[in-house]
Amino acid sequence: MSECIFCKIVKGELPTKFLYEDDKVAAFQDINPVAPNHILIIPKKHIASMVEVTEEDTQEILPYIFKAAQHLAEEFGMDKEGFRIVNNCGAKGGQTVAHLHFHLLGGRQMLWPPG
């Protein structure tokens, strides 16, 4: 999708420092962090939201997202005190970019309910 900001980041059309990258996913700092550690993990393949995830995506992409989350939580020391992984789906779910992404949040006390 040519107008998708996350697709542009993956293609290198927008400058971004990747904190993690493999052949399936990429991760980078959120530009509007809500926690001391706020990292976005995205598939390199354009998938608009969880609603559009296929069976193949479930097997071929989603495990890499959680592998990246585990790696980053360890790298940034979030594994010691805890962290949160969030996926917003659709407008009422709080999704603002129509490209599947997961927020890895840590470095502060997370509250429940979140909002």
Residue type present at position 2: S
38 a catalytic residue? no
Which of 38, 46, 71, 101 is flagged as catalytic? 101
Q: Six-digit token pair at 11?
A: 């293609």
Taken as a whole, the chain contains a residue count of 115
Q: What is the CA radius of gyration of the chain?
A: 14
Per DSSP, helices labelled H in 1-115 are: 5-10, 55-60, 62-75, 78-81
Distances in Å between the Cα of 92 and the Cα atoms of 86, 88, 99 are: 14, 9, 15
- Active-site residue numbers? 101
